[in-house]
Structure 1
């Protein structure tokens, strides 16, 4: 048991007991070890008397800790804080509102509000995508990430391309996911879009025949 010496904490507990008495919770208070005579006496005390009682030196309250429930609460808190940190990271690094809705279940208006709070500004108009070679590298790294969590995959992908916004990476990934293609001579997945943009470099130009 952990004794409570702080007068403010004691007063809060005494006020809590008084409220519970007013709410007809005397049975639960008796189950906690408070006798009927004490409950009746506490119920008759004025606010000033409760303050004086709480300020007395003799410890009258102690708490016990449920270690298992405390551990469970700490784990839940860690998960909540991690999710909040991930949400902030994605917004800071240019995630689209559709990505925030898909990965975090965050509504459009809330995404806009969080952007304003974090001072994040999205440029108007169509985004400029990187050149084909960079897009190919993005797809290679995306395909190599083994984590099954979409949040974790996009986070790792952005770590590899920190100069690009998450919205740009989302567009490039969506392009390759939509048009995946495996060339027979190359086991690395390539998209038709990449093939079209690079086919001019892959064409064979025959040498002129000697006369």
Structure 2
């Protein structure tokens, strides 16, 4: 699918938990978001392309099971949110470049902004693509889904995640913005915005 800035987006479901892996390409350069599982499937998508990076949205095992194999096969650098990076390295052996709010990851001259979202894990990140010629898109990992924010285990984590999702996503991007989550179907901020207070009240 062609999106703004001349990028092409491919979405693939992999692994027993139906993780979404997203491949963004610009010409022959590619960026992979979440090498979750089935490295052979992901590597076939890269045929003829130069992988310039693999972004891991957070440290949970189901989002990084193919990371080591993809990095070994391509030599591409890994990227992860600063608070999660050490845990990802421990689990995979891949040393990731640490990124957080204010950082950007480049693909063919196009910059995707990094947004830290604390709560589902300490170092969860989203990537924002904000082209001048098309709709904004957010790759949110497991921090925002259709119907709510990602799973949290403590009340303080829920409060943190809902705060960050509200302040850094809903307050900054318009209703047309497309949300690409770590599992399942896409949504828009406009579809989810009316339910923010409902999520706050139900605590999940």
Structure 1 or 2, whichever has the larger Rg, is 1
Output the TM-score relative to the length of structure 2.
0.23
Output the TM-score relative to the length of structure 1.
0.22
- Which one has the bigger strand percentage? 2
- Which one has the bigger helix percentage? 1
